Amino acid sequence: ESETVELPPDAPAPRLCQMKKWEDFEGYGFNLHAEKDKLGQYVGKIDEGSPAEYAGLREGDRIVEVNGVNITSETHRQIVERIKKVPNETNLLVVSLEAEKWYRDHKIAVTGSQANVVQLRNPALNPATAGDREAEERHAEEDAVLADAPTPVLPVEPPRVPTEANGGASTMATTTTSEAKGASNGSLNLNMSASEMRQLLAQRKKHDPKKVQMDLKKKYELIEQM
């Protein structure tokens, strides 16, 4: 049987072209054609950048098997139906014209089970658009991460809390030592509260030396009138 035939080292390698359709590309990108003076089916024109091209299919290749079945005796219509039988993917065992002649001259039937078959397949995604799709998926993932991220909380400075000083006057907790010292010396402090200012003015008025002198003068006049 052909499966047990030992191939010579110079035997041309058949190619098993495994093709899967892409969502953004119509079909596999190759045509079938038959020649009047030749038996069998051959690969016609191949679209540039197609799954067929990436899977190693070449124009002029002789088709030996479709999805593991030898199609040498089948018609064009039967081969097309066999390709369509499995949706979205198909496997073609092919040989070049030179390889076909070599096997015919050596009276060896080509099969997909022989040891020197080279297996080829097209990428899962169309290389022409895969970069754009990956970029869209990456942006979508970044947007999802941002949406799931917690909202940052900014630190809030605590408000100044008023404290009660001696005598019922309110002072701010942030009043510095120098401000308090300035108030005790009788100087006006612009950082004083209104109640502190009134208290300071009252103390000045209470201990006004002019008022003390006026009181002594009145007392002296009263004594003279007696």
Q: Give the predicted TM-score (pTM) of the model.
A: 0.58
Q: Cβ-count burial of 69 within 10 angstroms (0-12 exposed, 13-18 middle, 19+ buried)? A: middle
The better pLDDT of the pair 91, 190 is held by 91
Residue 58 has pLDDT above 90, yes or no: yes
Count of alpha carbons within 13 angstroms of residue 116, beta-carbon side: 16
| 201-216: pLDDT as tens digits | 777 665 555 555 556 6
State how far Cα 195 lies from the chain centre.
62
The better pLDDT of the pair 107, 40 is held by 107
Local structure of residue 175 (DSSP, 8 states) = -
| 156-207: pLDDT as tens digits | 666 665 555 455 444 444 444 444 444 444 455 556 677 777 777 777 665 5
- Whole-number Å distance between alpha carbons of 186 and 27: 98
CA distances (Å), 133 to each of 12, 128, 138, 139, in order?
39, 10, 9, 10
pLDDT value for 6: 85
Q: Are 116 and 13 in contact (CB under 8 A)?
A: yes
- Whole-number Å distance between alpha carbons of 221 and 205: 23
State how far Cα 119 lies from the chain centre.
34
Least confident of 25-39, 133-147, 154-168: 154-168
* Residue 148 neighbours by CB under 8 Å, 6+ apart: none
- Whole-number Å distance between alpha carbons of 48 and 58: 11
